[in-house]
Amino acid sequence: MSEQEKLPPGTLMTLAIIFLAGLVDGLDATIVTVSLPTMAQEFGITPTHSSWIMFAYVVGLAAFLIPLGKMAKNGRVRKFMLLGTALFGISSFLCGISNNFWMLVFFRLIQGISAAMMSSVLPSMVVHMLPVDRKGLGMSILGASSGLALILGPVLGGLIVSSLSWHWLFYINVPICIVILLMAMSHMPKDAPRDPDKDPTMFGGMGVMLLIGSVLVLMEDLGDSDMNLWGRTICVILAVIGSILLIRSIKIDKKRMVISMEMLKNREYLVVGSAFLLCTIVVAGAQYLMPYMLQHYWGLPTFDSGIYLASASVAMVIFVIPVGRMCDKFGCKWPAAMAAILRGTFCAIMIYMVYETKEPLLVIIPLLVLGVSNAFSGTAQPTRMIHHSTPGYEDESTNFMLVVNYVASALGCVLFAMVFGIFSPGQIEELGKDGLMNGFIPTMWMSIALLVLALICTLSVKNKIVKKE
Rg of the chain (C-alpha set): 22
Rounded Cα distance, 88 and 386, in Å: 30
pLDDT at 3: 39
Q: Which of 1.20.1250.20, 1.10.150.20, 3.40.630.20, 3.40.50.2000 is the CATH number of 8-195?
A: 1.20.1250.20
pTM: 0.81
Positive or negative torsion for Cα 91, 94, 95, 96:
positive
In 3D space, the residue among 332, 331, 330, 351 whose CA is nearest the CA of residue 340 turns out to be: 332
Structure letter (DSSP) for residue 187: H
Positive or negative torsion for Cα 304, 147, 334, 340:
positive
Question: How are the residues of the chain apportioned to helix, strand and coil, as percentages rounded to the nearest 5?
Answer: 85, 0, 15
Whether residue 340 has pLDDT greater than 60: yes
259: left (phi > 0), else alpha (psi -120 to 50), else beta?
Answer: beta
CATH topology of domain 259-469: Growth Hormone; Chain: A; (1.20.1250)
* 332-356 average pLDDT score: 91
Higher pLDDT, 260 or 169: 169
Q: 453 Cβ partners below 8 Å, 6+ apart?
A: 278
326: left (phi > 0), else alpha (psi -120 to 50), else beta?
Answer: alpha
pLDDT (tens digit per residue) in 105-160 = 999 999 989 988 888 787 777 666 666 555 555 655 665 677 677 777 888 888 88
Percent of the chain with pLDDT over 70: 86
Whether residue 64 has pLDDT greater than 90: no
Rounded Cα distance, 32 and 324, in Å: 29
Indicate where the chain has its CATH 1.20.1250.20 domain(s): 8-195, 259-469
Q: 229 Cβ partners below 8 Å, 6+ apart?
A: none
Whether residue 468 has pLDDT greater than 60: no
| The amino acid at 101 | F
Whether residue 163 has pLDDT greater than 60: yes
Whether residue 402 has pLDDT greater than 50: yes
pLDDT (tens digit per residue) in 412-437 = 888 888 888 888 877 766 777 888 88
Give first-to-last CA distance, the chain, whole Å.
31
- 457 with 337: CB under 8 angstroms? no
pLDDT (tens digit per residue) in 49-61 = 788 888 888 888 8
**From the CB of residue 252, how many other CB atoms can be counted at a distance below 10 Å?**
13
- 307 with 158: CB under 8 angstroms? yes
The number of residues in the chain equals 469
9 band by pLDDT with thresholds 50, 70 and 90? low
469 band by pLDDT with thresholds 50, 70 and 90? very low
